[in-house]
Chain A
Amino acid sequence: MNGFAVALEPANLLWCFVGVFLGTVVGILPGLGPPATIAMLLPLTFNMNPAGAIIMLAGIYYGAKYGGSTTSILMNVPGESASVVTCIDGYQMAKKGRAGAALGIAAIASFVAGTVGVLGLMLVAPPIAKMALSFSSPEYFALMSLGLALVVLLAGRSIVKALLAALLGLWIASVGTDLFSSTSRFTFGRMELLSGIDFVVVAIGVFALAEVLANMEAREETQLLPMPKGLKNLLPTLQDLKDCRFAFVNGSVVGFLVGALPGGGSTIASFLSYGLEKAVSPRREQFGTGVIEGVAAPEGANNSETGGALVPLLTLGIPGSGTTAILLAALVLWGFKPGPLFIPEHPALFWGLVASMYIGNVMLLILNLPLVPLFAQVLRMPVYVLYPLILGVSMVGVYSVSASMFDLALLMVFGLLGYLMRKLDYPSAPLILGLALGAGMERALRQSLMMSEGSLSILGSRPISAVMLSFAVLVLLIPVFGKLNKWRLKALEQE
C-alpha cells in the first residue's frame, strides 16, 4: 500500500527512529512520561511535514511502553503507571537471577502485541470504535469491578489482608475534589491534595522505597541481586517462549480492546491482562514469585493499548488517554481536524502512520533486545550504590512530574507505608490496584446512578455490564469454591 511508501521515505524513517529512541529513554526514566515529552517537542514540529511529525510523536508514545519495563524489572521502580504490574513478577525474576529473561520477554511481548495492535488499528478500527461507543458508565463500572475482583487472585496467603489493602487503595483514590459536587475530600486543608494523590507517587513509594527500606534492615552481609549467569538467563529460552504463548495473545487482545475504550487506559489493561493470565495459567499459585507469563501479559497489554487508543482518536477525534489528548492537540495545532472524516480525507497521513508503527515496532525490538544484557549489568552494582541510585531516580522522577516538594514528602510517607505492609505481610499489589481503579470506579458508579435516577438495576439491565459483573462475582467466589472443595475432600477422606 502507499502507506509504506510514505513510511519508508528516508526522512520519515529517521523521524520514526528518533521517536522510538526518545520514547524508550523516556520510558526508562520514572516520572517523565510521553505527554510531557511530546509537549516539549511540539514547537519543533511546526517546521516539519505533518507525516514525519506524527510518526515521531507516535514513536515516542509506543516506544515509552517498551522502556517502562526496564526499571520495573531491575529496580522495582515503575517507569510509569502502565509498568506497575510488570514489577510484580519482573522484579522477582530479577531476584532469582533471570533479569535478562524478563527484560527480553518484555521486549518480545511488546513487539508481538504492538504489532497486533497496529493490525487492529488497520483492519477493524471503525467497527471497534462503534462498539466502544456502546460502552458507557455502567459498563466501565462493571469492567473495573472485574478488575478489582481480580485482587482475589493477587491475594497470596490471606484474602482478608488483600481485601484490606485494596480498600486502603480505594480510600487513597478518594482523596481530592469530588467531580460532581466540588467538595473536597480528605484534603486536610492542603491545596496540594485538591487534585488527589498521584498514582506514580504511591506506586514508587510502595514498591521501590519499601523494597529499599526492607533490604536495608537485613542483618546478614548485603547480597547483590544475582547477576544472570549464562545465556539461559540473559535472554528468554525457547521454553519461556512456549510458556508465554497464551500471554502473547492475552496481552494483545485485552490491551487493544481496553485501549479502544475512551475511558480505558493502559493501567487497567495491564491489570486485566495479568489477572486473566493468572486465572488460566496452570501454575497460577506461582504468580508473584517470578513467573515469566506474569511479565509477558501486562507488557504486551500496555503496548497493544497504544494501537487501541489511536482508534477513537483517529476514527472519532476522541482522545482516550493523556497521551492521545496531547496528540489530538498536536493535530489541531498543525491545522487538522480529527474527527469521523479524518481518515477518508487524509488517507496518506493515516496509512503512513500505520505503516510507520509496524516499522517502529521492529526498530524497537532491534534496539531493545541486544540492550538486555547491557541493562542486566546494572545488577552488578553493589547494593550500596544501587539503592541510593534507586532512591535518587525515584525522587527525581516524582519531582519531575509536578515540581512539588509536597509530592516528595508523600513519597516518603508511602515508602514507610509500603515498608510497614511488608513487615505485616500485607500484599501491596491490591493496594495499587485499588488506587488505580478507585477513582474511575466511583465515578462510573455515580454516573450510572445519575443515568438511572438512582436505580442500581441499570447495572443488571444492560447486557454488557451484566455479563461482566457476573464474571466479577464468579471470580470473587473462586477461593470459596476452592475451600469448599478442600473441605469436601477432607470430609471424604475421613470416612
Chain B
Amino acid sequence: MKLRPSLVTLAALLAASAACAQGFKPTRTVELVVHTGPGGGSDVLARAIAIMVEKEKLLPVRMQVVNRAGGNSAVAAAFLAEKRGDPNTLGLFTGVWLQTPLVSTEAKVTLRDLTPIARLVLEPAVIAVKADAPYKTLAEFIEAAKKNPGQLKQSGGSNTSRDNVVRQLLQKSTGTRWAYISFPGGGERIAALLGGHVNIMVIEPEEAGEHIRAGNMRVLAQVSEKRLAKFPDVPTLKEAGFDVPVVPQVRGVVAPPGIPKENVAFWEDFFRRLARTPSWQKYIEDNQFEDGYQNAADLAKFYDEFTDRMREILKDAGVKTVR
C-alpha cells in the first residue's frame, strides 16, 4: 500500500535518530558545576557522584566538580547559562536555585532558562530539640509557643531556606508564632541549639544522627512523607497531627540552554542508570535521602509547582518576591 513506504521511511528515520542518541558520548571531561565552595552540601554530593561514576565506569571520560560559589547560586546559574550548547557541562541544582531568582532581581537565570535533566533526591529533615528540653512531642512545643508567643526560638539558615518554610507552614496552620534566627553555617546552628541559645531546629537526619547517639539531641517529628528507616519511632508531621505539606530539599541536574534533544536523552538515561547502581543506593541509604528520581519532563512540571508554592509561602512570611 501507499502507506508502507512512508512507514518504512518513518521507521528508518526513527532508527536513525535513536542511533544518533546513542551516538552522543561526552568527548571531554564532564564538568559538574555546584554553587557552594569546597565542603558545602552540593559539593559533597557532586564529589560522591564523581567517585561513583569512576567506580562503576559509567562514562568513558572523567567527571570533575567545578565550584562557582556566590550569589546564593546566581553565579553558578549564570555560568551555566553562558555555556549555551555545551554538552559536556552539567549543574547540580538544589532548592536554592529555584528560590533565589524569586527574591533577587540580580539573579536573572531561572531553572526554566536552563535545560532540566533529572531530579535526583529529596532530602527529608527532622525537628530536633536539646535532650534536656521539656518538650517530648511537637504538640508540646506548639503548646508552649502558644502560651509564649514570639519567645521560643528556632535556629536555621536564611529566611528562604527550608527550615523557615517548615516554620512558616507550621505557624500558619497552628496559629502560633516563634522567633527564627538565621545562622549561615550548619555548625553554628547546631552549636546554638546545643548551647541552649535556641529551643528547636530543623536538621538533616544524618547531621543529627551522631548527636542523638551521644544523647545530646532528641527528635520530635520528621519532615517526610513516610518514616525514615533510622527513625522508626518518630512520627511524621502528618502522623503528629499537623496537616502541612512536606516541603522537600530537592537536588537534581540541569544542563546549559540550547542542548540538542539527543544530549538531554543521553543524560537523562545516564542519571537513571546512576540511580540504579548499588553505590548510589548505598549512598542514599547512608545519608537517609529519598530517591526522588524524575525525568526531565516531570522535573519541569515539579519546578513550576514548587515555585508557585514558594511564592505563596514567601508572601506569607513577609518576604518580597520579585518574579
Contacts and interface: CB of A to CB of B under 8 A. Distances in A.
Interface of A: 35-36, 38-39, 42-43, 46, 132-137, 177, 179-184, 187, 189-195, 262-263, 312, 316-320, 322, 325-329, 332-333, 337-342, 402-403, 443, 447, 450-451, 453
Interface in B172-215: 179-185, 187-188, 190-192, 194-195, 197-198, 206, 209-211, 213-214
Given A137-B197, A177-B72, A339-B211, A39 B39 contact: yes
B210 A318 contact: no
B58 interface: no
A191 B107 contact: yes
A39 B44 CA distance: 10
Nearest to B108: A191
13 contacts: A36-B67, A39-B47, A132-B191, A190-B106, A191-B107, A193-B106, A262-B185, A316-B194, A329-B43, A333-B44, A340-B213, A451-B179, A453-B150
Contacts of A319: 39, 185, 187
B192 A136 contact: yes
Contacts of A133: 191, 194-195
B74 to A, nearest CB: 5
Interface string B14-52: 000000000000000000000001111001100110110
Contacts of A340: 210-211, 213-214, 216
Given A191-B106, A325-B38, 17 more contacts: A36-B38, A133-B194, A136-B191, A136-B197, A181-B159, A182-B104, A182-B158, A191-B78, A194-B74, A194-B75, A194-B104, A318-B191, A327-B39, A333-B47, A340-B214, A450-B180, A453-B179
A177 B104 contact: yes
Contact of A318 (B43, B108, B187): B187
B72 A195 contact: yes
B153 interface: yes
Given A137-B197, A181-B159, A318-B187, A39 B67 contact: yes
A191 B75 contact: yes
Contacts of A325: 38-40, 185, 187
Interface of B: 37-40, 43-44, 47-48, 50-51, 54, 65, 67-72, 74-75, 78, 103-108, 150-151, 153, 158-160, 179-185, 187-188, 190-192, 194-195, 197-198, 206, 209-211, 213-214, 216, 319-320
B89 to A, nearest CB: 14
A338 B71 CA distance: 29
A22 to B, nearest CB: 15
9 nearest A-B residue pairs (beta carbon)? A339-B210, A39-B38, A194-B71, A326-B39, A340-B214, A318-B187, A133-B195, A325-B39, A136-B197
A431 to B, nearest CB: 23
A182 B319 contact: yes
Contact of B214 (A36, A132, A136, A341): A341
A34 to B, nearest CB: 9
A451 B197 contact: yes
Contacts of B198: 451
Contacts of A36: 37-38, 67
Nearest to B99: A182
Contacts of A137: 181, 192, 197
A195 B75 contact: yes
A450 B50 CA distance: 41
A329 B39 contact: yes
A183 B184 CA distance: 15
Contacts of A328: 39
Which of B50, B108, B179, B197 is the most central at the interface, judged by chain A CB atoms within 10 Å of its CB? B197
A194 B159 contact: no
A318 B191 CA distance: 8
A451 B181 CA distance: 7
A341 B210 contact: yes
Contacts of A183: 320
Given A325-B39, A339-B213, A453-B150, A180 B197 contact: no
A312 B211 CA distance: 13
A449 to B, nearest CB: 10
Contacts of B206: 337
A328 B38 CA distance: 11
Which of B105, B160, B181, B206 is the most central at the interface, judged by chain A CB atoms within 10 Å of its CB? B181
Contacts of A451: 153, 179, 181, 197-198
Nearest to A443: B184
A61 to B, nearest CB: 12
Contacts of B160: 182
A320 B54 CA distance: 32
Given A43-B47, A194-B74, A263-B188, A450 B108 contact: no
